[in-house]
């Protein structure tokens, strides 16, 4: 994904922040996390919160307990990217509305993930906001995910099934991890048109074990055989 040089540069800074001891670097400047003020612009924020309440917050990466801060930032960034892509109004309010304060933007981001933001993310968003680069936040987070995965050997794939099958996802992740030697995370997508079975894609590997795929293959074989007879 081409996220641009600005997003790449800021994402690299966030990667260093979560993976390296940066305690000597002062990124704590900026407004305090005071009570979020109420005002006319709260109407647009209320609309975003209403949209998020109707969104299935169970989708996206697993929110299992994470072993260190970097993993927590990565997990939260995964959810934030997903929510901002799903709910365009959320992305617009965060990135395009200068009348919405930093504190209100942080509150919206926390509402999107359903928990307090990791300290590293709060500090990062402050830095981006104060440097007047907030319009690039979604690209920055997307670039951070790409860089974090490359650094930590994480491969991301897609598992498409006709209905949710959590045990299949866990099983295939284990198989792919043993084959590739990398941590494999599958985004699960439900597509009822598959009828049954699944379609798996990780990097250049694609496996179509769906009923719809098998029927399509059978149809092509029948057409080929018929053409040869004619």
Do residues 123 and 178 both lie within one domain?
no
Do residues 33 and 91 both lie within one domain?
yes
Domain residues for 215?
153-229
Using an 8 Å Cβ cutoff, are 122 and 106 in contact?
yes
Beta-carbon contacts of 209 under 8 Å, excluding residues fewer than 6 positions away, are 197, 198, 199, 200
Do residues 35 and 119 both lie within one domain?
yes
Beta-carbon contacts of 32 under 8 Å, excluding residues fewer than 6 positions away, are none
Do residues 76 and 133 both lie within one domain?
yes
Q: What is the structure's pLDDT at 79?
A: 94
Assess whether pLDDT exceeds 70 at residue 46.
no
| Domain termination residue (choose one: 131, 149, 167) | 149
Do residues 30 and 45 both lie within one domain?
yes
Give the chain's domain count.
2
Alpha carbons 135 and 172: distance in angstroms, whole number = 37
| Domain termination residue (choose one: 149, 179, 194) | 149
Do residues 195 and 181 both lie within one domain?
yes
pLDDT tens per residue across span 159-177: 999 888 888 988 998 988 8
pLDDT tens per residue across span 20-45: 633 333 433 333 333 333 444 444 45
Count other Cβ atoms within 10 Å, centred on residue 186. Answer: 20
Do residues 119 and 215 both lie within one domain?
no
| Domain termination residue (choose one: 103, 132, 149) | 149
Using an 8 Å Cβ cutoff, are 134 and 98 in contact?
no
Burial class (CB in 10 A: 0-12, 13-18, 19+), 100: buried
Alpha carbons 213 and 43: distance in angstroms, whole number = 47
What residue has token string 């059978």? 218
């Amino acid at each position: 994904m081409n996220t641009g040089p600005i997003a790449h540069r800021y994402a690299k800074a966030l990667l260093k922040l979560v993976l390296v001891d940066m305690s000597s670097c002062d990124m704590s400047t900026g407004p305090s996390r005071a009570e979020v003020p109420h005002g006319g612009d709260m109407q647009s924020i209320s609309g975003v919160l209403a949209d998020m309440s109707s969104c299935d917050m169970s989708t996206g990466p697993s929110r299992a307990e994470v072993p260190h801060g970097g993993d927590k930032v990565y997990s939260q960034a995964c959810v934030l990217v997903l929510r901002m892509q799903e709910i365009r109004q959320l992305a617009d309010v965060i990135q395009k509305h200068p009348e919405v304060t930093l504190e209100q933007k942080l509150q919206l981001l926390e509402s999107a993930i359903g928990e307090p933001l990791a300290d590293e993310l709060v500090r990062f968003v402050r830095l981006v906001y104060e440097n007047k680069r907030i319009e690039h936040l979604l690209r920055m987070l997307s670039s951070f995910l790409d860089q974090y995965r490359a650094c930590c050997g994480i491969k991301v794939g897609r598992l498409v099934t006709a209905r949710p099958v959590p045990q299949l996802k866990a099983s295939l992740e284990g198989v792919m991890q043993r084959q590739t030697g990398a941590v494999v995370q599958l985004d699960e997508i439900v597509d009822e048109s598959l009828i049954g079975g699944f379609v798996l894609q990780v990097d250049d590997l694609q496996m179509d074990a769906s009923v719809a795929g098998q029927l399509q293959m059978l149809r092509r074989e029948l057409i080929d055989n018929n053409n040869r007879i004619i």
